Structure 1
């Protein structure tokens, strides 16, 4: 693969603002995020070079969503950071959530991990993301459920249990609320 991503080292690339498609506000990326974005982009590009199979396209689509989320978080965080006063970065909270998608977390656990009170954490998180912490966490779970529905033959019940939902009916209602379709309808959609 060749292109602008190859021609510059991450230090040079991180010093320049990046414009996102949804805004004309430049986003200055720290070096670790630049490396992460570059690696994800290269992974997707390399996969598509192997062919445009449905699984490759779905996987690259998920990578694109992840890239967009990283850019959005970088754009939403002021340079002094949402949680800088408590030595915590919102991306750490999101990473904490993502590491626990196949289990459960409580608001109290998230606030403790961020080392702030529950009300303060909830307010700051919502200011940064537009969602309450638990709503954001549930949306991450549903996004992972979509991947399982797209890429596996697991039943809706198996997926719901895998993601920590004890009640598959609650999972299905939540899925429909967020996605606008039931898990079965989503799985039956033609993609690509």
Structure 2
């Protein structure tokens, strides 16, 4: 996972990157993360704090940058949804757009549309998860840092070379290759049990 704050000086670049990720088998989520109590204006607009939303789709439709999001339903089968512009009961919808996007105003189904500008205003964290399909070649290397191999980060150039290293070779004349490196740490069974030992 990686996170990118939606608010920034380059919304056009962010919009383009989000659409590119949606079209290339990525899973995108977002949230409005904050500490403390819920802010009234957030609850009033239907966006819950510290809750994850999934991005279903998005695109430019009749010059509007629109996004479809989903929030998991509550145990009672209901959901708190965005109620601003482009929400289920918004007057912004035209018959043409309803038909183009197969829009359904079914109440509390957990899905809703909103404008990209509103998305940037109401969410402050974006999660992107890459899904590797069968076209990718996967390789797993298990290792660890220990005495004599924990060389520290790059600024410590003298000892950095003692970190575990692997050599990757590409065949001469090979096509351009995209490489994704993921570093993961096993979670001890006691931490998965929720005893707080992972904190």
TM-score, scaled relative to structure 2: 0.25
Report which of the two has the higher share of strand: 2
Query: Looking at CA atoms only, which structure, 1 or 2, has the larger radius of gyration?
Result: 2
Report which of the two has the higher share of helix: 1
